[in-house]
């Protein structure tokens, strides 16, 4: 008989490229989102949080040492779990349970 | 004083809604003839918004940057003879499956989204579908460019589009996308953007690409992660379209639920090829199929996504529980099928090494040693007249009428048996690998009776380069029609292996 083992956990996540820029975005996420966990894999970081992940432009800029457009996030994201609740000039917010 | 810059939200609005117009002398029905026949009801297209707020100028800017990075990495890899630094040439067999099976689907996705970008009445989703159509074409290009370097040195890369239309295992991905592009625009978006891209492409483009990185294939890792970063936008499109449709009218809910039920199982069966690639074809492994299924499907999709959709009256896909039950069996069943029929495939297979079998036993403590290890022990002893000194299944398998995979899926509730299902339709019997595929057939039998099944077509005499001169000439004539030359049989009797050994003969450490 098949024994079905399920290990289910609810979180939002971002899969980030393991690059210089990805690392800076990762640092900004860790600073602004207490309780964030990181899993490391070859080539990428998986960043998880039980409720939400917020990326602040200003925090990313402080790690990059240069201006950063929130649309540059397209260059470091690989994938995500959740919803983009906000994406404007100053911040990106990923969480579940958002309406359009 | 300089003019104030537009905000992202303002720019997005101007470049999408602002460029749309109301027709005056042609009716909307004539412009969008496919908008209604699927039964989907829309009250207000303006309720739709793309959370990525992607505009055309941003699209060019960031996509160009992604491509520049990819080509820089590819150039570096080629200049540096990067193929010689791969973990092992066996690795490339997973990339052969990718280039033959997945890359042509990227092209079909480009066509499908071009259709959607033309035929959805809303300006917002039309714009998003247009970007996606361009993304998919770009994915085709970067994958072909990455593969063309390997084509100089290894078998199996030379004839992808020709093979995609003919070779037996490639009818699995081909039939999947043929099914999608012959659906209406709303079903297509639900099938591809939502069911495939949100729920399943992570399995292909994240853990598998991490595996590519781990095995030294930086161009594949780069195109994979770059493609999946576009998929993030596509996932958003899929999710937004589904939520939008569910919010627009309650009559849409049962239609969407059925599409989710159908396309979960179609996509899941297609993705099973990735299970075999991850667990058997990567010499250095990052995570097992089961682990990636738990992370990317059970946690992110069932516990995350579908809990979010409950309030709309949507439940997880009908046959999801079966997929969970199969997670300890699936990759082993699929690799065994690929292994058994490698005499007619454009890639090589091999008996897993003892160390690899230990890894499989550790990752699959309830199934590998119990149901699969003995097959490879026997395969070593069995002799066939074919090259490789091991077992091949000399014959043609029964294919599932829907997913077109040979019917070799273990029943998790009775693991010494394969699942065999059938149904009768207009006096003919049709066979299925699973309850999921049987359910899909019975919902649209008039569609799936038309399936082009490679084994049936061989028996009908439609797959020969020239008429066979006798029974021994049947398979050679099929292989000639496929354009399979020295691409088949066991890895250890292949040109790839011979060359790999030659290229590394001066190294102090001997690689297998």
pLDDT for the residue B251: 97
Choose the mutation target among A8, A20, A81 for the interface with B, i.e. most B CBs under 10 Å. Answer: A81
Residue A6 has pLDDT above 60, yes or no: no
Interacting residues of B13 by C-beta distance below 8 A, sequence separation 6+:
none
Angle of helix B123-151 relative to helix B56-79, nearest 10 degrees? 10
Residue B512 has pLDDT above 60, yes or no: no
Residue B6 has pLDDT above 90, yes or no: no
Among B132, B381, B165, B310, CA closest to B233: B132
Structure tokens at B480: 């000639």
Asked if residues A70 and A88 have their Cβ atoms less than 8 Å apart, the reply is: yes
Please state the rounded mean pLDDT for residues B252-274.
97
Rounded-to-integer distance, Cα B60 and Cα B454, Å? 41
Residue B164 has pLDDT above 90, yes or no: yes
Residue given tokens 């239609």 in the structure block: B255
Average pLDDT, chain B: 94
Q: Cβ contacts (< 8 Å) between A90 and chain B: which residues? A: none
- Between B418 and B45, residue with greater pLDDT: B418
pLDDT for the residue B142: 95
Phi, psi of B322 (to 5 degrees): -65, -40
Between the alpha carbon of residue B471 and those of residues A29, B138, B310, B468, B475, the distances in Å are 65, 44, 57, 7, 8
Closest to A2 (Cβ–Cβ): which among B61, B209, B412?
B412
pTM of the model: 0.94
Choose the mutation target among A10, A39, A42 for the interface with B, i.e. most B CBs under 10 Å. Answer: A42
Among A93, A27, A92, CA closest to A60: A27
Q: Cβ contacts (< 8 Å) between B324 and chain A: which residues? A: 4, 6
Residue B302 has pLDDT above 80, yes or no: yes
Residue A2 has pLDDT above 70, yes or no: no
Read off the DSSP letter of residue B195: I
SS (H, E, C) B201-216: HHHHHCHHHHHHHHCC
Report how many Cβ contacts below 8 Å link chain A to chain B: 124
Please state the rounded mean pLDDT for residues B342-367.
97
Q: Which of B19-28, B82-91, B403-412 has the lowest mean pLDDT?
A: B19-28
Asked if residues B169 and B485 have their Cβ atoms less than 8 Å apart, the reply is: no
Please state the rounded mean pLDDT for residues B4-19.
83
pLDDT for the residue B1: 56
- Point out which residues pair with B272 in neighbouring strands: none
Rounded-to-integer distance, Cα A89 and Cα B471, Å? 69
Read off the DSSP letter of residue B483: T
Q: How many CA atoms lie within 13 A of B128 on its CB side?
A: 27
Interacting residues of B182 by C-beta distance below 8 A, sequence separation 6+:
B447
Distance from the A54 Cα atom to the nearest Cα atom in chain B, whole angstroms? 15
Assign A100 a pLDDT band (cuts: 50, 70, 90).
very low
Q: Is B404 left (phi over 0), alpha (psi -120 to 50) or beta?
A: left
Rounded-to-integer distance, Cα B227 and Cα B66, Å? 9
Asked if residues A12 and A81 have their Cβ atoms less than 8 Å apart, the reply is: yes
Asked if residues A1 and A27 have their Cβ atoms less than 8 Å apart, the reply is: no
Structure tokens at B297: 């499907």
User: How buried is residue A42: exposed, middle or buried, by Cβ count under 10 Å (0-12/13-18/19+)?
Assistant: middle
Closest to B232 (Cβ–Cβ): which among A1, A6, A79?
A79
Does the CB of A94 have a partner CB in chain B at under 8 Å?
no
Q: How many Cβ atoms from other residues are within 10 Å of residue B33's Cβ?
A: 10
Q: How many Cβ atoms from other residues are within 10 Å of residue A33's Cβ?
A: 18
Longest Cα pair distance anywhere in chain A, in angstroms? 59
Q: Cβ contacts (< 8 Å) between A83 and chain B: which residues? A: 51, 239, 308
Distance of CA B245 to the CA centre of its chain: 26
pLDDT for the residue B240: 86
Look at B214 and A43 and tell me if their CB atoms are within 8 Å: yes
pLDDT in tens, B204-252: 889 999 999 999 999 999 999 988 888 888 888 888 889 999 999 999 9
Asked if residues B271 and B200 have their Cβ atoms less than 8 Å apart, the reply is: yes
Rounded-to-integer distance, Cα B475 and Cα B21, Å? 58
pLDDT in tens, B451-479: 999 999 999 999 999 999 999 999 999 99
In terms of DSSP H, where are the helices of B341-463? 354-363, 373-381, 435-443, 445-448, 454-459
Does the CB of A91 have a partner CB in chain B at under 8 Å?
no
Please state the rounded mean pLDDT for residues B135-162.
96
Structure tokens at B296: 């990317």
CA dihedral over B190, B430, B104, B199, signed as positive or negative:
positive
Look at A80 and B209 and tell me if their CB atoms are within 8 Å: no
Please state the rounded mean pLDDT for residues B501-512.
74
Task: Please give the share of chain A, as a percent, with pLDDT higher than 70.
Answer: 90
Among B119, B139, B297, CA closest to B233: B139
Task: Please give the share of chain B, as a percent, with pLDDT higher than 70.
Answer: 98
CA dihedral over B256, B261, B263, B264, signed as positive or negative:
positive
Rounded-to-integer distance, Cα B71 and Cα B67, Å? 6
Please state the rounded mean pLDDT for residues B296-318.
93
Residue given tokens 């894999």 in the structure block: A41
Look at A84 and B298 and tell me if their CB atoms are within 8 Å: no
Residue A1 has pLDDT above 50, yes or no: no
Look at B308 and A6 and tell me if their CB atoms are within 8 Å: no
Does the CB of A40 have a partner CB in chain B at under 8 Å?
no
Q: By CA distance, what is B300's nearest residue in A?
A: A81
Look at A77 and B229 and tell me if their CB atoms are within 8 Å: yes
* DSSP line for B274-319: HHHIIIII-SS-SS-HHHHHIIIIIIIIIIIIIHHHGGGT--S-TT
pLDDT in tens, B427-459: 999 999 999 999 999 999 999 999 999 999 999
Q: Which residues of B422-455 are buried (b: 16+ CB within 10 A; e: fewer)?
A: eeeeeeeebbbbbebbbbbbeeebeebeebebbb
Q: How many Cβ atoms from other residues are within 10 Å of residue A85's Cβ?
A: 17
CA dihedral over B59, B62, B65, B71, signed as positive or negative:
negative
Rounded-to-integer distance, Cα B352 and Cα B331, Å? 13
pLDDT in tens, A36-95: 999 999 999 999 999 999 999 999 999 999 999 999 999 999 999 998 989 999 999 999
Asked if residues A78 and A45 have their Cβ atoms less than 8 Å apart, the reply is: no
Residue B143 has pLDDT above 60, yes or no: yes
Look at B213 and A81 and tell me if their CB atoms are within 8 Å: no
Q: How many Cβ atoms from other residues are within 10 Å of residue B197's Cβ?
A: 28
Residue B2 has pLDDT above 80, yes or no: no
Assign B268 a pLDDT band (cuts: 50, 70, 90).
very high
Q: Cβ contacts (< 8 Å) between B321 and chain A: which residues? A: 4
Closest to B206 (Cβ–Cβ): which among A11, A72, A79?
A79
pLDDT for the residue A99: 52
Phi, psi of B343 (to 5 degrees): -65, -20
Look at B298 and A7 and tell me if their CB atoms are within 8 Å: yes
pLDDT in tens, B91-138: 999 999 999 999 999 999 999 999 999 999 998 889 889 999 999 999
């Amino acid at each position: 008989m098949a024994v079905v083992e399920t290990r289910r956990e609810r979180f939002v996540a971002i899969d980030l490229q393991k690059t210089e820029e990805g690392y800076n975005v990762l640092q900004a996420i860790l600073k602004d989102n207490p309780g964030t966990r990181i899993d490391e894999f070859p080539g990428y970081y998986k960043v998880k949080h039980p409720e939400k992940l917020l990326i602040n432009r200003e925090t990313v800029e402080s790690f990059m040492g240069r201006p950063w457009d929130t649309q540059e996030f397209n260059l470091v994201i690989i994938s995500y779990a959740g919803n983009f609740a906000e994406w404007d000039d100053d911040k990106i917010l990923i969480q579940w349970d958002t309406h359009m | 004083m300089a003019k104030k810059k537009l905000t992202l939200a303002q720019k997005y609005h101007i470049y999408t809604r602002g460029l749309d117009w109301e027709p005056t002398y042609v009716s909307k029905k004539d412009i969008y003839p496919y908008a209604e026949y699927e039964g989907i009801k829309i009250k207000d297209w303006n309720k739709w918004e793309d959370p990525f707020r992607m505009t055309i100028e941003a699209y060019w800017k960031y996509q160009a940057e992604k491509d520049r990075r990819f080509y820089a990495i590819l150039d570096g890899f080629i200049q540096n003879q990067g193929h010689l630094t791969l973990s092992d040439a066996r690795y490339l067999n997973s990339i052969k499956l990718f280039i033959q099976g997945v890359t042509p689907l990227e092209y079909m996705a480009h066509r499908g989204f071009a259709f959607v970008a033309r035929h959805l009445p809303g300006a917002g989703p039309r714009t998003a579908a247009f970007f996606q159509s361009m993304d998919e074409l770009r994915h085709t290009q970067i994958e072909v460019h990455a593969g063309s370097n390997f084509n100089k040195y290894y078998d199996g890369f030379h004839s992808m589009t020709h093979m995609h239309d003919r070779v037996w295992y490639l009818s699995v991905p081909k039939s999947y996308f043929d099914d999608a592009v012959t659906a209406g625009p709303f079903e297509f978006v639900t099938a591809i953007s939502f069911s495939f891209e949100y729920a399943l492409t992570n399995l292909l483009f994240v853990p598998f690409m991490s595996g590519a990185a781990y095995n030294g294939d930086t161009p594949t890792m780069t195109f994979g992660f770059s493609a999946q970063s576009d998929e993030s936008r596509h996932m958003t499109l899929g999710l937004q379209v589904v939520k939008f449709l569910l919010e627009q009218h309650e009559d849409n809910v049962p239609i969407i639920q059925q599409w989710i039920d159908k396309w979960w199982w179609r996509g899941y069966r297609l993705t099973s090829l990735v299970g075999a690639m991850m667990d058997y074809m990567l010499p250095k492994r990052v995570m097992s199929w089961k682990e990636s299924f738990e992370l990317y499907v059970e946690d992110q999709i069932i516990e995350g996504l579908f809990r979010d959709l409950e309030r709309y009256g949507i439940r997880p896909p009908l046959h999801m529980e079966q997929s969970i039950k199969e997670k300890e069996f699936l990759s082993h069943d699929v690799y065994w099928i690929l292994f058994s029929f490698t005499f007619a495939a454009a890639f090589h297979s091999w008996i897993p090494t003892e160390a690899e079998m230990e890894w499989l036993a550790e990752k699959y403590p309830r199934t590998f040693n119990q149901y699969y290890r003995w097959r490879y022990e026997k395969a070593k002893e069995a002799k066939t007249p074919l090259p490789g000194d091991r077992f091949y299944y000399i014959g043609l398998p029964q294919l599932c009428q829907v997913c077109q995979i040979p019917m070799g899926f273990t029943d998790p509730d009775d693991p010494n048996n394969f699942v065999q299902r059938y149904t009768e339709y207009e006096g003919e019997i049709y066979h299925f690998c699973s309850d999921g595929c049987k359910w899909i057939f019975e919902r649209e039998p008039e569609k799936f009776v038309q399936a082009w099944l490679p084994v049936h077509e061989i028996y009908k005499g439609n797959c020969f380069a020239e008429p066979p001169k006798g029974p021994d000439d049947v398979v050679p004539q099929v292989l000639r029609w496929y354009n399979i030359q020295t691409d088949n049989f066991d890895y250890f009797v292949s040109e790839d292996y011979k060359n790999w050994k030659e290229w590394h003969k001066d190294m102090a450490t001997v690689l297998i």
